[in-house]
Amino acid sequence: MTTPNLVPNIAIVTGASRGIGRAIAVALAASGAHVAITYREQAEMAADAVREIESAGGGAAAYQLDVRDARRVKEVVETIGKELGPVSILVNNAGLVRDNYLRFMAMEEWSDVLETHLNGAFLCSKAVLAGMQRLRWGRIINISSDAAFVGDVRRANYSTAKAGLLGFTRALAREVAPQGITVNAICPGMIETEMTAEMEDARRQGLLRGIPAGRFGTPEDVAALAAFLASPAAAYITGQAISVDGGLHMG
């Protein structure tokens, strides 16, 4: 374990059963946070993430949460407040893709993606804000994507949601900065997770050629920035969108 540096230190990471969310939960715990790992369906994977953190000497607990469910979001944040303490760090990470050419995209494919990324970030941020305002300290980190800048083919839904998250980040950052709360977005490029595992080899090789660093990213590459943004050292960084992409998008 590294020296604890997250005080106050109760963190929620949405969609933390696997992938980037899990790596962020592990990194926050290594910095001294007590982490609420939320998952939508994969209870066993979430329990495994809790075990990984505990065996490294950290603190974590798992909670089932579909971020689209307003009632459940409120309930889970209240439960975490009672069981762990007031939430001071929120990472809006839960996400999914429903790829299709726009011409063939069904309404559910469009709305599933917007509801998960945008409604999810709205509901979770709203639920933790009063507590952060009482603490006069808070960190909200929204996991956007380079897709917000460059647009992805067959992902009009996803690119729209991720660009929307940047507007949300900036507006909320202005609103809550006077209360000691920062709001930032991380924009990962191509990161090796289940979300990207099924990509055909030809497309992977094509993407790889466009990455100056010459490799795809790891969840830990993203988690390192999240842990920094959550720390007291990042108190004067707010309203930013920071890419973690090996130089893919240089904006």
Q: Which residues bind ligand NAP (CB under 6 A)?
A: 14-15, 17-21, 39-42, 65-68, 93-96, 116, 143, 145, 188, 190-191, 193-196
Bond before 8 cis per omega within 30 degrees: yes
Q: How far is CA 49 from each of CA 4, 122, 251, rounded to the nearest angstrom?
A: 19, 25, 34
Question: Residues 28, 13: contact at Cβ < 8 Å?
Answer: yes
Smallest separation, CB 211 to ligand NAP (Å) = 12
Question: Residues 61, 83: contact at Cβ < 8 Å?
Answer: yes
Sign of the alpha-carbon torsion through 107, 108, 111, 113 = negative
Kindly state the DSSP code that residue 127 receives in the 8-state scheme. Answer: H
Smallest separation, CB 85 to ligand NAP (Å) = 22
Q: Cα separation of 19 and 72, whole Å?
A: 23
Residue with Cβ nearer ligand NAP (65 or 225): 65
Name the β-bridge partners of 184: 141
Smallest separation, CB 243 to ligand NAP (Å) = 10
Which is catalytic among the residues 39, 63, 101, 158? 158
Residue with Cβ nearer ligand NAP (195 or 224): 195
Q: Cα separation of 99 and 198, whole Å?
A: 12
63 part of the active site:
no
Residue with Cβ nearer ligand NAP (32 or 67): 67
Residue with Cβ nearer ligand NAP (114 or 135): 114
Smallest separation, CB 7 to ligand NAP (Å) = 26
Nearest to 229 by CA among 173, 146, 158: 173
- Report, as residue numbers or ranges, the catalytic residues: 158
